[in-house]
A and B are shown apart, each in its own frame.
Chain A
Amino acid sequence: MKHLKIKASFVLSIAMILFTSLSVFAQDMNEEAAAAAQSTASNINWLIAGIAILLVFIIGMVFDILSKVGDVQKKPIINWGKINAYLALVFLVVGLAATVWEFMVHGKLTVFALPAASAHANEYDNMFMVTLALTGVVFVITQILLFWYTYKYKESPKRKALHYADNHKLELIWTIIPTLVLTVLVVRGLIVWNHMTSSKSESAMNIEMFGYQFAWNARYSGADNKLGKYDFRQMGVVNALGVDSTKEFAGDDIITSELHIPVNRDIYLHFRAKDVIHSAYLPHFRVQMNVVPGLPTKFSFTPTLTTNEMRVKLDNPNFDYILLCNKICGSAHYRMKMKVIVDSEEEFDKWIKQQPALTAKGTETNNAFSFKMKNSPLASK
């Protein structure tokens, strides 16, 4: 008799919850109709949130009622141990499938799916793929074991757990194997790191990247390939970068707000910041370096694909390389970017000669100079 009552009250309460929730939505709809100016999209989202919250409450109440029924019957209706064990299996299968799906679908959106745009990018990508493969294997095996054990060894009154406290051989095995795998990764990583940090040649083209809130400037060293000295007290006085054109090497320097670089030529970037720390991030070239006020930083690399070549390869006429600021630097941090264009040597020579140097004499020198130099030992690698 009591049994029946509980069931009846259960059905009744569900019905009531549904009724109240529906009436709440109905109210929402009326309001929405009245306020026609509001965007429907945001209202629908609020609605979804509302439905979700109510659903959770309904589910919670159902479970509560069921467990109360179980208490009365002295036999639990919901065996959470079992449910969890099966859910763990479902979670494992769905999770692994979703992971594969992610790699198939979103993997294509990463920079690793694009052709490598700099000389060291291939080596970098290989390192990445090796790490991905090794960690991927570990990931799959350990996650499978974890959730499989959760399912397989769920509590059963028939069984007693195995009192098995340790096994030195096993501990040794699972210490030594990760050590060996990591040794491989460390050694390879160190090799790549050394290549990336020491790959500058004498003839590399010196360019200064100047970051400030919230934009970038590039300063080309001109025909002499030497950057003139700057004085931070002169920033915004003689020019934005504080480079006095009368100083040695400064006359032929060129300041631009777009970064053009010639393909297959070593580029040696010198970074400088005016106010706070920025970070010059060129994801397509696997290049990033912090730009710190009062602390010179450098990075050298060799672009291997021009913007046009990349556009053809990707079949995307709007593709552009980009330099982003990747260190929080203030309110417009998210818009602090610079267009990067990799030119062929001819195009670069033409472009740079159109840019005025700091002095008229410098411009003349630059115009008389050929920037079409094939002098990159790295590019020939």
Chain B
Amino acid sequence: MSAVAIHTDGHHHDDHGHHKETFISKYIFSMDHKMISKQFLVTGIIMGTIGMLMSLVFRLQLAYPDTKFPIFETILGEWGKGGKLDPNFYLALITIHGTIMVFFVLTAGLSGTFSNLLIPLQLGARDMASPFMNMLSYWFFFTSSVVMISSLFVQGGPASAGWTVYPPLSALPKAIPGSGTGMTLWLVSMILFIVSSLLGGINYVATVVNMRTKGMKMTRMPLTIWAFTFTAILGILSFPVLFGGSLLLVFDRSFGTSFYLNEIPADLAGGIERVGGSPILFQHLFWFLGHPEVYIILLPALGITSEVIATNARKPIFGYRAMIGSIMAIAILSFIVWGHHMFITGMNPFLGSVFMLGTLIIAVPSAVKTFNYLGTLWQGNLRLNPQMMFAIGLVSFFISGGLTGIFLGNAALDINLHDTYFVVAHFHLVMGSAAIFGMLCGIYHWYPKMFGRTMNESLGHIHFWMTIVSAYCVFFPMHFMGLAGVPRRYYAFTAYDQFNVFVDMNKFITYAAFIGGIAQFIFLFNFFYSMFKGKKAVQNPWESNTLEWTTPVKHLHGNWPGEIPHVYRWPYDYSVPGHESDFIPQTTPDEGQLDPLSEPKAVPAPERKRVPTLEKEEAVLFTLVKRWLGFAQ
């Protein structure tokens, strides 16, 4: 029963550890998935900090459009002449903030980090299917980050056409200064990023399909792996479309073609008259990636929280199969809904109806996921450590932001809400905050695995409460601005009398954003301090069932000294009745279970007192509500 199928006696030699590791091969051009995951994480955190600081700069502008901040001139030079932020640079900031957050932090930083760390560890593999491709994936990502950041320093500034870079604005350098060199670098960076993402994605899928240890059936994979797999598939299928789309935009910008341009006079377009293309074509190509991208961001976060909630509720995740089903449903549906970003581009209203139908259907699997989370918490024994709090925060954001999606997915309602602050509020809650919470949740949870130390818990809790309060204070009021018709991407609202009522709200939002920013510095301090000075971690600090906690604290290239453990059960055997400890690791065979592929004894469903149906309807309902709220067994 207690025999863990892993040998730690040290006589086994590591198959992969023969060659001598130099500093470069260990820390820089490492092919070890654990090191690569750390590289992704640290790069992601650095990019995230840059993106966050940018948001603070433009929040200051939005709160105090008439105030001069001499510090702007110090930091930004020409872009902040006399302490006033330049309107073009404001647009550049929101563009790069969006790009960095969506792609560099929440795509590479989140799924790059945790897919790399967890896929081999949780499946019982020595490394990725192709460690070399994995390394390439990181270095393409790194190059892409460098190119993106370097675009901040070129003539004309970085790309400024919004993170969606719709042409003609992004295609015509005359239209906005950012569409010069900055935009070229944006496209180059994006193309490198897509290469990185594809190299990673193919690797993840190959590893999941081929390299599971004995006994790790698909139905015994942790939900994290299910989420990462579908994320990778989404990426593989959708990123190439953006690749093509970006390439055509490069042609339009540099070689005088007209894929996305129509009826643009020669004087606006570099001396060549552009006829025959369609600006909407780019939007179709962009959102064909762009919408799955939302789920590329969200699914790993949901996978991570599923794992963390189950572990810390000391309960099996409720509805494991339903969770997998909803991940699949979301992944498939995400490919046929991209048009909901384009309801008002003048596309055929019938097409709008189709996209609206698909979009609203996504709410069903999302609702299933939410209720399953609630079902997991119900009657649990919740360890409210930082990662658990972040997971609960994610569910809260997922609800708040998901529900506003039902407004925006409705083509008719979208007419008045499109591109207003309502949209900003919606996606910052459901995609921004929720995914960031998933990422932070994963960092707190797997930090001991990554760095062999634990992060400071008190600081983690302070970080959590400051972040959730500030995130709600920042984004919740924005809904009302949107409903009043306040457009997004406005440098100032001073030209509009009817928006004067929101001056105070804008200030409030900025204060809240700064509190959130401070909270992130607490996290950064905790993260880097704990790396060297944190409490030494034990092998399985959270008493979790999954395979990664059977590896030694000190990293080995090849993960397990000796044989790879076999898996005998699913990962969610928490609080099984009749067992002394409240968790049974996946490597523990049941009594008499010799073959890992055979199923362990099924745990009988808990005996429940039946609600007496003979009583009056009110009485039955009352009993049920009492039970749901935890007042009756």
Contacts and interface: CB of A to CB of B under 8 A. Distances in A.
B364 A175 contact: yes
Given A142-B374, A178-B363, A328-B169, A213 B356 contact: no
B101 to A, nearest CB: 17
Interface string A289-300: 110111111100
Contacts of A99: 476
Contacts of B577: 163
A189 B412 contact: yes
Given A162-B606, A334-B490, A146 B392 contact: yes
A112 interface: yes
B396 A153 contact: no
Interface string A315-334: 00011001011111111111
Interface in B477-533: 477, 480, 483-485, 487, 489-493, 495-498, 501-502, 505, 511, 514-515, 518-519, 522
Nearest to B577: A163
Contacts of B511: 48
B595 interface: no
B338 to A, nearest CB: 16
Contacts of B541: none
Interface string A269-302: 0010001110101011011111011111110000
A351 interface: no
Contacts of A213: 175
Interface stretch (B6-14, B142-150, B309-317): B309-317
B458 A155 contact: no
Contacts of A56: 462, 466, 518-519, 522
B462 A145 contact: no
Interface in A170-210: 170-171, 174-175, 178-179, 182, 185-186, 189-190, 192-194, 196-198
Q: Which of B262, B378, B514 has the most CB of A within 10 A?
A: B378
Interface stretch (B130-138, B294-302, B397-405): B397-405
B257 interface: no
A288 B415 contact: yes
Given A164-B316, A331-B91, A332-B87, A198 B349 contact: yes
Contact of B264 (A134, A275, A288): A275
B91 A337 contact: no
A275 B268 contact: yes
A333 B356 contact: no
Interface string B458-473: 1101100110110010
B157 to A, nearest CB: 11
B225 interface: no
B587 interface: no
Given A186-B357, A333-B491, A166 B318 contact: yes
Interface string B363-389: 110011011111101111111110001
Contacts of A159: 381
Interface string A63-90: 1101100000000001011011101100
B457 interface: yes
Contact of A293 (B161, B168, B177, B377): B168
B162 interface: yes
Interface stretch (B73-81, B188-196, B208-216, B274-282): B274-282
A143 B399 contact: yes
Contact of A110 (B263, B280, B480): B480
A154 B175 CA distance: 57
A340 interface: no
A109 interface: yes
Interface in B58-86: 64, 67-69
B250 interface: no
A293 B322 contact: no
Contacts of A39: 67-68
Given A142-B399, A153-B378, A164 B318 contact: yes
A165 interface: yes
A102 interface: yes
Contact of B392 (A150, A170, A179, A292): A150
Contact of B374 (A146, A331, A332): A146
Interface stretch (B119-127, B416-424, B442-450, B611-619): B416-424
B346 A131 contact: no
A111 B483 contact: yes
B303 interface: no
B477 A102 contact: yes
Interface string B600-611: 000101100000
Given A102-B480, A145-B628, A294-B279, A162 B176 contact: no
Given A63-B462, A139-B403, A156 B346 contact: no
B540 interface: no
A186 B356 contact: yes
Contact of A292 (B280, B412, B415): B280
Given A91-B468, A213-B175, A334-B491, A328 B162 contact: yes
Contacts of A189: 356, 360, 410-413
A331 B381 contact: no
Given A152-B629, A288-B344, A326 B458 contact: no
B487 A326 contact: yes
A117 to B, nearest CB: 12
Given A99-B476, A193-B412, A334-B493, A163 B363 contact: no
Contact of A60 (B420, B458, B485): B458
Contact of A124 (B396, B413, B485, B606): B413
Contact of A182 (B360, B375, B469): B360
A59 interface: yes
A297 B484 contact: no
A136 B109 CA distance: 33
A193 B318 CA distance: 38
Contacts of A354: none
B433 to A, nearest CB: 14
A128 B417 CA distance: 11
Contacts of A33: none
Given A189-B360, A318-B497, A149 B381 contact: no
A63 B458 contact: yes
B52 to A, nearest CB: 15
Contact of B345 (A154, A290, A326): A290
Contacts of A331: 87-88, 91, 176-177, 491
Given A102-B477, A330-B169, A153 B377 contact: yes
B381 A322 contact: no
Given A91-B468, A146-B377, A146-B396, A128 B384 contact: no
A249 interface: no
Interface of A: 39, 41-42, 48-49, 52-53, 56, 59-60, 63-64, 66-67, 78, 80-81, 83-85, 87-88, 91, 95, 98-99, 102, 106-107, 109-112, 124, 127-128, 131-132, 134-135, 138-139, 142-143, 145-150, 152-156, 159-167, 170-171, 174-175, 178-179, 182, 185-186, 189-190, 192-194, 196-198, 213, 232-233, 235-236, 271, 275-277, 279, 281, 283-284, 286-290, 292-298, 318-319, 322, 324-335, 337
Given A53-B518, A98-B476, 10 more contacts: A63-B458, A80-B384, A91-B465, A162-B575, A163-B576, A166-B322, A175-B322, A196-B412, A232-B263, A277-B169
16 contacts: A53-B518, A56-B462, A66-B458, A80-B457, A80-B458, A91-B469, A153-B630, A155-B384, A160-B575, A161-B314, A162-B315, A162-B380, A164-B378, A164-B379, A295-B278, A318-B497
Interface of B: 64, 67-69, 87-88, 91, 161-162, 166, 168-169, 172, 175-177, 261-265, 268, 273, 275, 277-280, 313-322, 344-346, 349, 352-353, 356-357, 360-361, 363-364, 367-368, 370-375, 377-385, 389, 392, 395-396, 399-400, 403-404, 406-407, 410-413, 415-416, 418-420, 456-459, 461-462, 465-466, 468-469, 472, 476-477, 480, 483-485, 487, 489-493, 495-498, 501-502, 505, 511, 514-515, 518-519, 522, 572, 574-577, 582, 603, 605-606, 628-630
